[in-house]
Chain A
Amino acid sequence: MVIHTGAEAPPSGARADAGAGRPGRTPGRRGGGVRGVRAHTYPYWFYVPAGVVYGLVFLVPTVVSFYFAFTRWTLFESEFIGLDNFRQFFSEQALVSGLRNTLVYAVVTSGLKVVLGMLFAVLLTGPIRSRGLLRSVIFFPVLVSTVAVGITFSVLLQPDFGLVATVLSKVGITPPDWLGDPGTALLSVALVDVWKGVGLATLIYIAGILAIPKDFYEAVDVDGGGAWTKFRNVTLPLAAPATFTVILLSLIGGLRSFDLIWTMTKGGPGFSSDVIASTIYKTYQAGFFGLSTAGNVVLFILVALIVYPLSRYFNSREVQS
């Protein structure tokens, strides 16, 4: 991991998994070998309080979801119905398009966050006087409530009198009905997601870029290379760990994304911006608890299929480099 945050925290894993084999973290160089001492000093029961909460509220539901996903369920009684829920889930056109939308949303948001985050980070690590201010300005939306952002942008994007439409029409562009047109709704929400989240990506990249030793750039200077060469041959490859982090973070966030979509379009118009998470909520609201849980299992599998191999791959790349 190359992510130095510049603050007090030691270089920690922005990606959790990166931590395991790192030298600085390998504990017990001496003295720790005596079991009795360890048990006294670092007792296992320290895990217990956290473990109980985590186990009850997170693990148990995750595990039982694999049973309830195969039932018709009223919360009080459940009837085993085999694969019916999944059949139902995949036979409805709306739910299938939800699957596709989830992927589109996750890929678009993480792609844009990588590109824009990198771009902003390069600009903001350059010799700009106002970079402190700019960093804050770009980062602040990360801290703002998603609901607040969703409502504000729904108003700004209103096609008849919204600010965006007003400005665009002054320059002679007829804007689309961003959130009201089935063709643009999902992408419009994704853009707002990028607006809100790009600050975090930028800061992760800034940390990554600042950690690149200066000699690499000086070497390019000696060879007579320009800014582009520096970016292409130094920044881009050496900031790869930051790229991995940003991709993983935004994929995990994007695949599970619910709150922004729900506040801006409720999955509409029609089903055009429905994602798996919003389908889970709708089926839950309608009282189809088994079906909703089946949706959860589908999402679980999707996330596992995408994120797990990707993080393995990134990890191995990182070890090599």
Chain B
Amino acid sequence: MKLLALLAVCATGALLLYGTVDMPDWSDPHSPASIHVSPRYIEKAMEETAVPNMVTSVLADYRGYDTLGETVIIFTAAMACILLIRRPRK
């Protein structure tokens, strides 16, 4: 059983290593990730939102719904933790 697990891990690792061959180079300006919407954000973020930190402007303004969902997830985690294991002493 342990041998089988080792084989599965090695196969998955080899698959992942094979997948990295097709990845674009580090900071490649012609990779698909940086030719679609990234130039628009890089050029327009400062003049549209007046926020120098581009990450913040994308995170909180252009993708505001995502951050709202993230905050709701954290809130839900606290509520689930309170409901499951909070046990007030009588």
Are chains A and B native binding partners rather than an unrelated pairing? no
